[in-house]
Structure formats: structure tokens, C-alpha cells
Amino acid sequence: MKNKLIELKDLTKNFDDQQVLRGINLDIYENEFLTLLGPSGCGKTTTLRIIAGFDEPSSGQVLFNGIEISKVPPYKREINTVFQKYALFPYLNVADNIAFGLNLKKMDKSVIAQKVSRMLKMVGLEGFEKRDVTLLSGGQQQRVAIARALVNEPKVLLLDEPLGALDAKIRKQMQTELKKIQREVGITFIYVTHDQEEALSMSDAVVVMNNGEIQQIGSPTDIYNEPENRFVADFIGESNIIEGHMIKDFLVEFDGYTFECVDKGFPENEEIEVVLRPEDLDIVEPDKAQITGVVKNVTFKGVHYEIIVETESRTYMVHTTDYAEVGRKVGLSFGPEDIHVMWKMGAY
Amino acid sequence: MKQFKRLTTPYMLWAAAMIVVPLIMIVLYTFTEEGNSVLTFSFTLDNFTRFAEGTYVNVILKSFRLGLLTTGLCLLLGYPMAFFISRFSEKTQALLILLVTIPEWINMLLRTYAWMNLLSDNGIINQLLGLLGIDPVTMMYTDFSVVVGLVCNFMPFMIIPIHTSLSKMDKSLIEAAYDLGANKIQTFRKVIWKLSIPGVLNGIMMVFLLSVSTFVIPKLLGGGQYMLIGNLIETQFISVGDWNFGSAISMILAVIILVFMRLMKKMDPQED
Amino acid sequence: MSRVKKNSKFASVYMGILFFLMYLPIGVVIVFSFNESKLPVAFTGFSTVWYEKLFNNHAMMEALRNSLILGALSTFISAVIGTLGAVGLSKIRWRSKGAMEYISILPLMIPEIILGMVLMAFFYMMGLPFGMLTLLIGHTIFCVPYILMEVKARLAGMDPALEEAARDLGATPFRAFLDITLPLCMPAVLSGSLLAFAMSMDDVVISIFINGPKVSTLPIKVYTQIKTGVTPEINALCTIMLAVTLLILGLYSLVKRINQGEKTDEKQAH
């Protein structure tokens, strides 16, 4: 049903003697909201710049509709970019900024004016045509930047941490708006961010990157619930990561106890890591759980308490609405579906 | 805070006595007759009517033309230089800009004198031409030698402001232009050039101000008979001793410069 | 991450030619200062005869002495006036501040020739005899702004909390100034002074108007000599001046670097 639009094949990139991308393979589909997520320096922006055409890969291919484009200059690609700090031309007004690309195509003035005003309407800036871009607020500049890119009717829109410079409230608002715009125009958005919450709430697909490599590709729920390795589990949300081994399918051992679980397909006695999300753990009476420990610290977090429990082998973080006073002996309870077994880092 | 105001006093007195008062006096001078002391001054416009005589107007026109020519050449040669420099890595840029500025640190006389060595009738260039079997060309004491001297002396004042505006330019604006479909030439015309205009105007102002008011370089490379506004002022003050007339010429020079600066400011799109 | 686009061959050639033209005259002067022959035509043999002649030229040596004394004195006076002025300007909040700041850099904005002429007329009217005194005042006028601007920039980058802390700990405003502000300004005073000294040693235009018939500075002496044509002695002098200028430039950038080093230290400390 879905058509492949962009394929990245074995992309690598070196800056001087530093390897920034180490073999990126990624398929990007039509009409998809895809997010490249990772800490700074993970290579997500470089990947985006290669797709846009600002950087050439050191090796590998970029296919667009099946055609290799890694040597095609940016101005010949059906791809447009929304820049991190918007990159609006300071000497042009809002309308002229948006019309920049259309003017280059020598389009008819009246057609341009029509397209510009339609774009402004879509981003919620009707009547802003003659405004000075340097006097707009961050959020408004952001909208102009989006309109300027979309008016060229690209097949793909690239967004490089576009909300990074906005304050928290406008950020939230823009997140919803971006998602809405994407549905409206029905093209592929490739979005770069280091903010996991942003990535999870907006995307159809999330690509978690670290150190120039892709760690996991999947839907937001997959990424959150089924992290494939320690990095993903650690980076997305908070987690208790525990080393253990897989006794057999549906049976895992850690901290000296065996637990039923829902994971299978690992070799018997394979060394693995287990993720227990803090919100999946419950505080119970010590006799009702296998793992027991003492409450070390309690912090109120608004909706829930963050409780640190020290057991024989480690400390666990628990998010719960129940209160437990410091020093109390408690048990930690969780069900088989709360245990996520992952391959150990570097073992695959 | 009172104490600090007292600290400023010497500077204030100094600025008032040595900068403001003399400037006011010179304006008075302009409108007085020869030999008048300022205290008993009688108003006159004679100094300006005298100026309207053909020879002096010609000197002004020549200075203006030469100033424009020098400025134009500096822009034409300096812009590409600044542009190329701005495309190197930051470290290399710093080094190249230092190379551009070093000659500026060397006494102007020295640089001008060096050109005398090169351009004179039996100078190095003519000697080289002689080796090629070409007859000596008179280059010294012509417009050519003066313009060469002016351009070489003032080039850094054009390169540096342009380079500053090019190098502090947000690189993502250039990428945005490419991204929106502009090719290299269009990007230069529609983005890079536009963004460098403040630097260009700054450079034009500096070079024009320097070249229109110069008198040492034309005197050395143009010879004793070479007359520009600067030389005229110098002669009136030092050789002729007609200070009132000299002041009037200075006023005209100041007005030319002020009008030119206003014009440049008007052209700056980022001013309003 | 460096993303430097490579310049074309044309660019390198272009830059090469321009740099060549900029440095060619200087190179010629240096080479011919060691030439045996009097004519700047062909290099006939290595010799230091022009240097010897130069050092035996009493008028030239006296002009050099004048220039050094003038440079040192005007720099010193400018340093005092300029530093106080910069500190004062940074403290006051008057409406006239803008005008004051404008006036403070005015001597650099006015074409040299007009400033020279203005001063000549002014000194004459004041009845000051033209000579060392008028030169000193004139040089101080255009030296002050260099120091003032450097110190002002330094003060602007300084954390005002430092001085406030000193006052909080019981220092009088005056003590706080002496113990905190002044030492922190010192590098800027020094770099500004070097700049001012170089400018004083360099000046021809203003000096010509206010030196009077008896006193000559080194640049004026050079100017009057080369007006009449090329003399190899001047080549030697120019080479020496070049060496001295580069020395001052080196010192200046060293002081600047120390300044900046301190600034980054401050930043890291935050």
C-alpha cells in the first residue's frame, strides 16, 4: 500500500577524520511522519543534510523514487527544508520570503500571490503578507519558514529541530499544528529532534540513532514498549535496566529470581538485559513479591511519586501514585507483560 | 556615583577644549575676511564666491572623480577577495585577514615611497619592460600612479568590512536559498550580495572619505603640481597662508563627505 | 564539523595576485635597502652602506628622537585621559551620553587633513608657539580615542558584579575602582597604548600642520625627503620602521591574546 519514497543505502559520512555516519540503511515512505531521534552528535542532522543535498555522503546511496540523487544539488531536489533557526531572509517581508522559491520559477505574479495567501492561511498567519520577518515572534517566524518550504509543493519536507528555539508552551501548540499540517498536505515529513517526548507524540515512525548508527526503527509504541537495546531503553523514557539471562522461551532470570515473561526467540541461557519501566512497577507488601527492598527516597513529581527502592542487588526506580515512607520494607510487583527482554548491547 | 563623575572631568574638559571649541572656531573662520581675528569677526561669503572660480571647481571635480574611481576599483577588486577569504575555515580566514591588515600597519609614506621605486621612469617596472624590449613608459606623476597608490593604500578598508559582513552571515540563509531552488548565481544575487550590502556601503564610505581627503599620496605620486582638495587646503594653510579661504575649502570638503555619507546610509536597506 | 567549500583555482590565483601587489612594494624597499648602487634599478651587491649613512645623518636622528619622545609622552597622557574617560562614560547615565560618545571618537572620524588644519588655526589663535608642545597636544587628541575605545570595550565585557562584590565587602567606590576595575582594565590600556603609540609614530598629515618650522618628526622628515625623489637612505629607514612596526604589531596581538585568554578563563569559571 505504501510506496517507498526515499531509500538510504549504507550511508557513511566522514568530516575530516571523524566518522559521523557509520552505515545508515533506512526506507522512508510516502505520506509518513518520520522522526530521527537521538542525542546531539548522533548523526541525525547529518542524515537530514544529506537528504536535503547540503552534504554529500562519503559512501552509500540516496535513492529518491528509485533514482540515485546524492550528487544532485539541493536546488534541483523536490525536497524542502525548515531550518533550525528558520533562516528567513531579513531584508524580505513575509510574502516575499514565502514567494522566494516561486519567484525563482518565474511564476505568474497573481498565481504567486494566491499561493502565498493560501499558505499563510494554512499556517494561521492571514494578513501578515507585508510584515517585517525580523519583528515576528519565534512561533510566527517558524510558521513563515514552514509556509516558505511548503509553498513549493515538495514531496518531502525536512525539519531540523524546528521547535528547539521556542518556549515550552508554544512548542506544544506547534507540535499539534505540525501534525495537522502534515495530514493536510499529505506529504512526507522527516523531522529531527533530540526530544523524545516530541518524537513519540508526533511521529508515525521513529528512528533512534546514536553514534552514527541506527539503534531501532519502529512506531512510537514499539520504541517505548519494546526497546531493542539498552541505549533505546535508556534514551526513551526512564527505565530500570537489569542484566540477566533467558532460561528458555517465556522464562527469564535476573537478580536471582525467575520470572515468566512474554518474550521468546532467544537462545537458551543467552545473556540478556531486561527493561522494567518505573511506571510498570508497583509497591506491595513484602510478602506479596519476589523482589523486596527498602525505600531510600521519595520525591513528589506532580502526578506520581518517584520512589527509590534499594534491594539486595540494585536500586529500582518506581513511579506510582501510592505513597511509601522512607525506610519501609516493601515488595516490587510486576506482571509478565511488564518485562521487556532485550539483546545485550553489542551482542547482535 | 558622584566620584565617578569627577573622574570623567579631565576627559570632558579635554574633549570640550580640544575638539569642540576648535571645530566651532573653524566654522567662524570660514565666514570671516582675511586677517580677521575671530573676536571681531565680520560676516562674509567672499571665501565661497572666490571658490566658484573655475580652477577651484575643477580641483573639486577632479578630487571627486578620483575618489569615485578609487572607491570603484577598490570595490571591484576587493569584493572577490573578501568573498574568497570568507569561504575558508575560520582559522585560515583569521590568518588571511591578518595578511590583509599588516600593510595597513606600515607607514603610509613607506608604502607610497615603495611605489615610487617601482613606477619611476628608471624604476623597476620600466627596467623589466626594457628587458622585454619595450620603451620606458612614464607612469610616475600621472593619474595612473596616483590611482595605483590610492587603491593599494586603501584596499584593506574595503576588504575588511565586506569580509566582516560576509563571514558573520548566517550560512543557513545560503542553504535556504539553494533549498528553495536558487542556483549558485541566483543565490549570490538574491542572498549573498544583499546580505553583504551593509559591509559594501561601509567600505565605500571609508575608502571614499580617505581618498577624497588625501594629500600625501597625490603629492608624492602625482608630483608638486598635482592638485586635489587636500593639496589645496595644505597649500592655502602652509604655503599661501590664507587661512580663511583654506577653512572654506575644508568646509566644502566636509559637506561633500557628509552628503556622501547620508547618501550611503539611505542606500542601506537595513537602516529603516 | 568543518564544511568548508573548496575555493576554485581561480580564487587562489586571484588572491595570490592581490597579495603579491600588496606586498611587492614592501619587498622592493627591503631588498633595495641592502643594495650597493644608488639607483633602485638592479641589485648590484649586498651592502649596509645606506644604514651607515642613515645613522650618521644627524637631522634624521634628531627627528627620530623627537618622534620617540612625542610618541611616548602623548601615549602616556592619552592613557590617563582615555582610561578615565572610558570609566566615566561607562558609569554615567545622562541623556548626553550618546553625544559624549560621538565626540569621543570624532577625532578618528574627521578627515586627518581637516583635523590638522583645525588644530593649526586653533593653536595660532591661542597664541601657542608651534613646536613640541603643539605636536604633543595634537597627537594626544587623536591618540585618546584609541585607548578610550579599547578600555570601553573591555569595561563593557566586564562583569559588573565584580565591582559590586568589592563594594559589598566594604570597599569604597574609589577603592573598588582602584583594586578591581583598574587592574582589570590594564590589558586594554596597554593594547590601546601600543596602538596609540604606533599611530603617533605614523602620523604625517596632522603633524605637518602643527610642527612649526623648527621641529621635525621622523615621518615629516621622510616626507620632505621623498617629495623630491627616491633616495636609498630612505629604503634603509623604511626597513627599520617596518621592523619596529611589526614588533609593535606583534606585541599588540600578544597583549590582545592575553586579554582574550583571560576572558575565556572568566567564561569557564562561570
Same domain, yes or no, for A223 and A246? no
The verdict on residue C183 lying in a domain is yes
Residue C160 contacts B where some CB pair is shorter than 8 Å: no
Neighbours of A181 (CB within 10 A): 20
Residue A212 sits in a domain whose CATH number is 3.40.50.300
Q: How far apart are CA A104 and CA C24, in angstroms?
A: 45
Q: How far apart are CA B63 and CA B83, in angstroms?
A: 29
Angle at A51 between CA A46 and CA A52, to 5 degrees: 95
Q: How far apart are CA A256 and CA B59, in angstroms?
A: 101
Q: Which domain holds residue A89?
A: 4-230
pLDDT at residue C268 in the model: 46
Q: Which residue of C has its CA nearest to B100?
A: C19
Higher pLDDT, B53 or C81: C81
Angle at C231 between CA C226 and CA C237, to 5 degrees: 85
Q: Which residue of B has its CA nearest to C23?
A: B103
Q: Which residue of A has its CA nearest to B193?
A: A91
Contacts of B265 in chain C (CB under 8 A): none
Same domain, yes or no, for A70 and A167? yes
Domain boundary among A208, A230, A252: A230
Q: How far apart are CA C112 and CA C124, in angstroms?
A: 18
**Which tens digits make up the pLDDT trace of A147-199?**
999 999 999 999 999 888 788 888 888 899 999 999 999 999 999 999 888 99
Helix or strand holding residue B232 (H, E): helix B229-234
User: How far B69 CA lies from chain A's nearest CA (Å)?
Assistant: 29
Q: What are phi and psi of C214, to 5 degrees?
A: -95, -30
Contact call for A81 and B176, based on CB within 8 A: yes
Q: What are phi and psi of C158, to 5 degrees?
A: -90, 145
User: How far C146 CA lies from chain A's nearest CA (Å)?
Assistant: 33
The verdict on residue C122 lying in a domain is yes
Q: How far apart are CA B184 and CA B197, in angstroms?
A: 18
Neighbours of B24 (CB within 10 A): 13
Residue type, A29: Y
pLDDT at residue A117 in the model: 93
Kindly state the DSSP code that residue A3 receives in the 8-state scheme: P
Same domain, yes or no, for A192 and A249? no
Residue C82 contacts B where some CB pair is shorter than 8 Å: yes
In the numeric block, which cell numbers belong to residue B150?
590610492
Same domain, yes or no, for A268 and A214? no
pLDDT value at B133 more than 90: no
Contact call for B85 and C234, based on CB within 8 A: no
Helix or strand holding residue A209 (H, E): strand A205-210
Contacts of C7 in chain B (CB under 8 A): 84, 87-88
Same domain, yes or no, for A109 and A179? yes
Residue with cell 575555515: B89
Query: Partners of A245 in the beta sheet?
Result: A253, A271
pLDDT at residue C100 in the model: 75
Three-state DSSP class for A5?
strand
Contact call for C1 and A55, based on CB within 8 A: no
Same domain, yes or no, for A14 and A106? yes
pLDDT at residue A38 in the model: 92
Contact call for C249 and B127, based on CB within 8 A: no
pLDDT value at B178 more than 80: yes
Total residues found in chain B within this entry? 272
The verdict on residue C41 lying in a domain is no
Total residues found in chain C within this entry? 270
pLDDT at residue B10 in the model: 74
Q: Which residue of C has its CA nearest to A13?
A: C1
Q: How far apart are CA A138 and CA A153, in angstroms?
A: 24
Three-state DSSP class for C176?
helix
Per DSSP bridges, beta strands A340-343 and A205-210 are: unpaired
Contacts of C114 in chain B (CB under 8 A): 213, 233, 250, 253-254
Chains that touch A (3 or more CB pairs under 8 A): B, C
pLDDT at residue B39 in the model: 45
Q: What are phi and psi of A216, to 5 degrees?
A: -160, 145
pLDDT tens, residue order, chain C (270 aa): 334 445 678 899 999 999 998 888 888 888 888 887 776 566 777 888 888 888 888 888 899 899 999 999 999 999 998 988 888 887 776 666 777 777 777 888 888 888 888 888 888 888 888 999 999 999 999 999 999 988 988 888 777 777 777 777 777 777 777 778 888 888 889 888 988 988 898 888 899 989 888 888 988 988 888 877 667 788 888 888 778 878 887 887 787 777 666 555 544 444
Q: How far apart are CA C235 and CA C49, in angstroms?
A: 11
SS (H, E, C) A127-148: CCCCCEHHHCCHHHHHHHHHHH
The verdict on residue C262 lying in a domain is yes
Contacting residues for A238 by C-beta, under 8 A, at least 6 apart: A277, A278, A317, A319
Chains that touch B (3 or more CB pairs under 8 A): A, C
Q: Which residue of C has its CA nearest to B82?
A: C15
The verdict on residue A348 lying in a domain is no
- Given a contact cutoff of 8 angstroms between Cβ atoms, the answer to whether B265 and B271 are in contact is yes
The verdict on residue A175 lying in a domain is yes
**Which tens digits make up the pLDDT trace of B81-116?**
999 999 888 888 888 998 898 887 777 888 888 888
Neighbours of B147 (CB within 10 A): 19
Same domain, yes or no, for A270 and A219? no
**Which tens digits make up the pLDDT trace of C68-127?**
999 999 999 999 989 888 888 877 766 667 777 777 778 888 888 888 888 888 888 888
Residue A290 sits in a domain whose CATH number is 2.40.50.140
| Residue ranges in chain A whose pLDDT is less than 70 | 1, 346-348
- Given a contact cutoff of 8 angstroms between Cβ atoms, the answer to whether A269 and A247 are in contact is yes
pLDDT at residue B272 in the model: 43
The verdict on residue C47 lying in a domain is no
Q: How far apart are CA A81 and CA A123, in angstroms?
A: 16
Q: What are phi and psi of A319, to 5 degrees?
A: -110, 120
Neighbours of B130 (CB within 10 A): 13
The verdict on residue C63 lying in a domain is yes
| Start and end residues for every CATH 1.10.3720.10 domain found in chain B | 58-241
Q: Which domain holds residue C66?
A: 58-269
Q: Exposed, middle or buried: residue A95 (CB in 10 Å: 0-12, 13-18, 19+)?
A: buried
The verdict on residue C32 lying in a domain is no
ipTM over 0.85: no
pLDDT value at B18 more than 80: no
The verdict on residue A294 lying in a domain is yes
Total residues found in chain A within this entry? 348
Torsional sign, CA A330, A335, A340, A344: positive
Per DSSP bridges, beta strands A156-160 and A305-311 are: unpaired
In the numeric block, which cell numbers belong to residue B77?
577588486
Tally of structural domains, chain A: 2
In the numeric block, which cell numbers belong to residue A22?
557509520
Contact call for B181 and A54, based on CB within 8 A: no
The verdict on residue C45 lying in a domain is no
In the numeric block, which cell numbers belong to residue B28?
567662524
Residue type, C127: G
Contacts of B178 in chain A (CB under 8 A): 53-54, 73-75
Q: Which residue of C has its CA nearest to B206?
A: C109
Question: What's the distance, CA C30 to chain centroid?
Answer: 22
Helix %, strand %, coil % of chain A (to 5):
30, 35, 35
Same domain, yes or no, for A131 and A260? no
Three-state DSSP class for B175?
helix
User: How far A30 CA lies from chain C's nearest CA (Å)?
Assistant: 31
Residue C218 sits in a domain whose CATH number is 1.10.3720.10
Q: How far apart are CA B84 and CA B75, in angstroms?
A: 14
Q: Count of alpha carbons within 13 Å of A228, Cβ hemisphere only? A: 15
Residue C5 contacts B where some CB pair is shorter than 8 Å: yes
Question: What's the distance, CA C127 to chain centroid?
Answer: 29
Helices of type H across chain A: 44-52, 94-104, 109-122, 138-150, 168-185, 196-202, 220-225, 230-235
- pTM, 2 dp: 0.80
Contact call for B216 and C204, based on CB within 8 A: yes
Domain boundary among A176, A207, A230: A230
Same domain, yes or no, for A138 and A252? no
pLDDT at residue B225 in the model: 81
Question: DSSP letters of B131-177?
Answer: HTTPPP---TTSHHHHHHHHHHHHHHHHHHHHHHHHHTS-HHHHHHH
B58-241 topology per CATH: MetI-like fold (1.10.3720)
Nearest by CB to residue B110, choosing from C22, C23, C238, is C238
Contacts of C1 in chain A (CB under 8 A): 15, 18, 20
Torsional sign, CA C70, C72, C73, C76: positive
Cα dist. A7→A21, A26, A65, A157, A204 in Å? 15, 6, 8, 15, 17
Contacts of C245 in chain B (CB under 8 A): 105-107
pLDDT at residue C261 in the model: 63
Q: How far apart are CA A174 and CA A195, in angstroms?
A: 14
Three-state DSSP class for A191?
strand
Q: Which residue of B has its CA nearest to C115?
A: B23
Tally of structural domains, chain C: 1
